[in-house]
Amino acid sequence: MQTIALILVAVVALEHVYILYLEMFAWTKASTRKTFGTTAEFAEASKTLAANQGLYNGFLAAGLAWSIVHADAAVGRQIAIFFLLCVIVAAVYGGLTAKRSILVVQGLPALIALAAVILL
């Protein structure tokens, strides 16, 4: 993959590491509740579910990181395409079912990275 594509894939991976942190370790903190628009009661009641979501975001980040470091660039490109498509599907689902801003916050960076991986 070209350098710009690698950087964009890395940005998406880092975004998902950050989401993992928010959902697994900071779900009940006031700043995280504000980000996700939840109440203290909801955050406390849903922290196990949020941690599970965070773990899945970690898997996405791990797959994207794997695509960057894979010894065979062609295989790394295929891995990146797969995991970026997974992020986009998750963002579309989340945007339609949870919060529209997910489409922009998660989906748009993944779409831009995907375009770079395919076109560069």
pLDDT tens-digit readout, 75-107: 999 999 999 999 999 999 999 999 999 999 999
Task: Work out the mean pLDDT of the chain and round it to a whole number.
Answer: 97
Q: Is 44 inside a domain boundary?
A: no
CB 27 within 8 A of CB 47: yes
Q: What percent of the chain has pLDDT over 90?
A: 98
Whether residue 28 is contained in a domain is answered as no
> Residue 64 sits in which domain range?
3-23+52-119
Average pLDDT value for residue range 34-61 = 97
pLDDT score of 1? 67
Whether residue 37 is contained in a domain is answered as: no
Whether 7 is covered by a domain: the verdict is yes
Q: Please indicate, yes or no, if residue 45 is contained in any of the structural domains.
A: no
pLDDT at 120: 87
Query: What is the signed CA dihedral for 27, 29, 31, 35, rounded to 10 degrees?
Result: 20
Count of structural domains, the chain = 1
pTM for the whole structure? 0.94
In a domain, 56, yes or no: yes
Task: Determine, yes or no, domain membership for 110.
Answer: yes
User: What is the C-alpha to C-alpha distance for residues 16 and 41, in angstroms, rounded to an integer?
Assistant: 25
- What torsion do the CA atoms of 103, 104, 107, 110 make, to the nearest 10 degrees? 180
Residue 45 confidence (pLDDT) above 80 = yes
Please check whether residue 75 lies inside any domain of the structure: yes
* pLDDT above 70 (res 56): yes
Residue 50 pLDDT more than 90? yes
- DSSP label of 2: -
